[in-house]
């Protein structure tokens, strides 16, 4: 039985990461999003994590630095996503390991909060709460109940604000 290893992406992982997203989502959109983000100023390879099982990449999560604006002030936080696991390896805790590693990485890098767009019930298991409950909104046309946030530093989101997802996310929606 192999154990799952989570580590930062390397340049040799790019093709395998594309395969993970294409197989997990059944299409090119998320792989294209990761590819476009990789070429943008908001990309940082240290914030891109892969999950390996038996020497094979079976999962990936990308964290992207984004601004949160409030009353002319701006602070940066991380957007978690896309996150995916190859279909043959789902329900093995790989996604959970990727999210936990993302939270730990955000702490180590000094970020105060993480934002995730997706199934709120899933993210609540990791301490995320509905963004609207903290007065946080975003520039994507997503259902407001789909946007969740996790404060890594208590009070980091006090007073709320508006998250500006980078253009590649906006184009995907």
Give the pLDDT confidence score for residue 155 in this predicted structure.
95
Q: Is a pLDDT exceeding 70 seen at residue 1?
A: no
Count the domains in the chain: 1
- Assign residue 103 the CATH number of its domain: 3.40.630.30
Q: What is the pLDDT of residue 41?
A: 84
> What is the residue-averaged pLDDT of the chain?
94
CB 118 within 8 A of CB 60: no
Task: Give percent of the chain above pLDDT 70.
Answer: 99
Buried (b) or exposed (e) across 35-47, using 16+ Cβ within 10 A? ebbeeeebbeeeb
The 10s digit of each residue's pLDDT in 136-165 is 999 999 898 999 999 999 999 999 999 999
* Closest to 125 in 3D by CA, of 93, 90, 162, 77: 93
Amino acid 144: pLDDT: 87
Dihedral of the alpha carbons of 152, 154, 160, 166, in degrees to the nearest 10: -20
Structural domain of 62: 4-172
Query: pLDDT category, 10, cuts 50, 70, 90?
Result: very high
Write down the pLDDT at residue 40. 87
- Chain center to CA of 114: 8
pLDDT for residue 172 is more than 90: no
Other beta carbons within 10 Å of 145: 11
């Amino acid at each position: 039985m192999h154990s799952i290893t989570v580590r930062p992406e390397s340049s040799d992982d790019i093709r395998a990461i594309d395969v993970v997203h294409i197989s997990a989502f059944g299409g090119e959109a998320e792989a294209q999003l990761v590819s476009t983000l990789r070429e943008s100023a908001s990309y940082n390879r240290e914030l891109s994590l892969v999950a390996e099982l038996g020497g094979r990449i079976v999962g990936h999560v990308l964290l992207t630095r984004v601004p949160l604006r409030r009353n002319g002030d701006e602070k940066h936080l991380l957007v978690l996503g896309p996150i995916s696991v190859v279909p043959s390896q789902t329900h093995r805790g790989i996604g959970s390991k990727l999210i936990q590693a993302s939270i730990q990485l955000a702490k180590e890098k000094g970020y105060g909060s993480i934002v995730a767009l997706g199934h709120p019930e899933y993210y609540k298991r990791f301490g995320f709460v509905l963004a609207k409950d903290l007065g946080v909104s975003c520039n994507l046309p997503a259902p407001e109940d789909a946007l969740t946030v996790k404060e890594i530093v208590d009070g980091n989101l006090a007073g709320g604000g508006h998250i500006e997802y980078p253009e590649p996310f906006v184009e995907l929606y």
